[in-house]
Each structure stands twice: as structure tokens, then as C-alpha cells.
Amino acid sequence: MAATAPLVVLGEVRTCLLPSATALTRAEAGDLLALLPGCGVRWRERPGTLGLSPTTAVGVDCDLRLGEQNARIVGTVATSLALAGGRVLQSSARTRVVRGAERRRQTWSHYISQKGVTEVVTRIPERMAAGTGLADGYLAAAPLPGSAPLDLASISERLLARVRADSRLDQSPPVQAGTTRLRWTARVGGSSGPAATLHMDDDTVRSVRLIVRDEVDLVAAQRFCEDLAAHDWLLTVLADVLDEADRFAPHSRERIDILAPALEHLAGLWMPGAHTPPVLRALWKDLQNDPGFSRQWNTLVGRLRDNIAVATLSALRHKIFDAEW
């Protein structure tokens, strides 16, 4: 039997705009997110809607980098979907890495009974050093030659692609928006309270390291990371919309067609921490200070409204002067 104390939890969240012209109702979201027959979709109505799918599992037998060696893990990756505001779609993949009781692979029936748990079946250092090393290897280190690394990116992308291609979606989103990735680790350490470190790897990939006080708090880590990923995605999309609109003249119809849908369909989705479990909600206070999530959001929304006002005024002036001529 595997040890229950986790070394580290590893996860990935992919976030995109649901390919639908309108936000989904509760009933529509329930149909879309029902990944397993007989398993209901969890739903929150306040302060904003949030649908959470049942959890499914994917079997893995792969490697995690641990310093200059590999740690072989066998078990399952838990996967699920979330839909915020009827519009923001997320796929999540995560696994709780524990030290295996035996240094050999067991039958699949043993691993299937532990959804979202992978066991290390090779010799590794003591718990704290191993947890930190596995987190570093997952987020920062390149795979060693000849290894078969854990690929949460592909697992979460397959689930997201499957749902986005659902025939019940009209494939006509109101805003052209890309997909972002948030890779995260969480481990138990320290007694001063939870802590989170966010790193912007590139234009679409972010990395988050979480430290929580107690093992029970690891359950909340996934929901915090999904909430964080959704708000980071909103910031990214609004910044991209403004950049795209700047390619067109102030009075052009194209400029207003880009800006107006973003204000109409996305501005009301900003609710940082609203869907984060209470035990980790304090993490948002630090994020509001640095990098200043809501400060940046308010600036972007202000620019969006100002740009729409200027574009509308320019279009009216242009029309008036054309009529006079």
C-alpha cells in the first residue's frame, strides 16, 4: 500500500474562451461538463456562475526529473473541467506524488483505486528534499535524455480539445482569444500560512509554486490555481484585444468590432478569489499587491472603454464630414 503523505502535487490548467456565441445556461453547462454517466456537475450561482465536472483519471507510467536522476512514477492523473461565467472553459490535470511502499510496479488495479495519485517506485531522498526537487524538476528542468517525462500538458490539452469540438457548441465566440497554460506545484511546508510564487514563463505559459500549511489544504490548491489561471487569462485576452485594435484607424469599424465584444462579454467576469476555497483566499491579497492583478485589470478596462468612446466619436466625425462633402 502506498504511503499517504504526499511529496508534492503537480498540476496544469489550460484556459480558453468557450467557442459559443452566447454564455451557457446551467442546464447547457451541465450537459457539456458531464464527463461520466451518472455523475452530476457541481454548480455555484453566486457571486458568479461556476460549473465543475466530475473527475476522471488517466493512467501513467513515466519519469519525473529529480536533480541529475529520474524518479519513475506509476499511477493516475486526475482530470476535470471548469466553466466560469458560462464562458471561460478550463481543463485541469493533476497528480499527488507519493512514495511507493514497494520498489516495483504493481498491478493496474492497485493504481486505479487511487484516482489522481502516482507512486514513486525508485529510490529517492527523504521527503522534504524529494518534494522540492520534484517540483523544481517539473517546472524548471529539461527532461533527461532517454526519459519519458510526465506530460500533463498533453493530457489537459486532449480533454480541452474534446470539449471545444462538441457539436452542441456553435464555434462562434464573440472574442478571438487564445489559450493560456498555468503549471503548478503544491507541497506542505512551514507554519506561517500559505504562500504562492507566480512566474510568467512567456506570453502564454505561467508557473506557480504553492506552499500550504497542512496536507488537507492541498485539496484547495487545484481550485486556487484554476481561479488564478482564469483571471490571468482575462488579463492576457484584454491586453491582446487592445493591441489588435491598435492596428486599425481610430474611426474604423474594425476597431469598434474588436473592442466592443470584449467589454460586453468579458468585463463582468472579473471576480478574483470568489471561487477560491477560504483556506487559500488570503493568497489573493499578495497577488493584488504584487503583481497587482486588479490594478492592471482596472487599467485595461479603462483603456478599453476610452478606446471605444474615442473610436465611436471618430467614426461619427468621419461620417459627418463625409456627408458634408
pLDDT, one tens digit per residue, over 54-77 is 999 999 999 999 988 999 999 999
User: Which of the two residues, 258 and 3, has the higher pLDDT score?
Assistant: 258
Which amino acid type is present at position 59? G
- At 147-179, the pLDDT tens digits run 899 999 999 999 999 999 999 999 999 999 999
Q: Rounded mean pLDDT of the chain?
A: 91
Region 166-194 average pLDDT: 92
| Neighbour tally for 146: CB within 10 Å | 7
**What's the pLDDT score for residue 142?**
85
Q: What is the model's pLDDT at position 311?
A: 82
Q: What is the pLDDT of residue 2?
A: 42
pLDDT score, position 325: 44
User: Would you state the pLDDT for residue 267?
Assistant: 93
pLDDT (0 to 100) of residue 127: 61
Residues in the chain: 325
pLDDT of amino acid 3: 47
Q: What is the pLDDT of residue 30?
A: 93
Would you state the pLDDT for residue 89?
Answer: 98
Mean pLDDT across the stretch 192-206?
92
Q: Kindly give, in sequence order, each residue whose CB lies less than 8 Å from that of residue 185, ignoring residues fewer than 6 positions away.
A: 8, 9, 10, 11, 134, 135, 138, 139, 208, 209, 210
Res 141 pLDDT > 80: no
The pLDDT assigned to 4 comes to: 67
Which amino acid, residue 134?
L
Asked if the model's pLDDT at residue 322 lies above 70, the reply is: no
Higher local confidence (pLDDT), 318 or 70: 70
Distance CA 32, CA 269 (A): 20
Binned at pLDDT 50, 70 and 90, residue 321 comes out as: low
Q: Which of 158, 161, 196, 181 is nearest to 290 (CA)?
A: 196
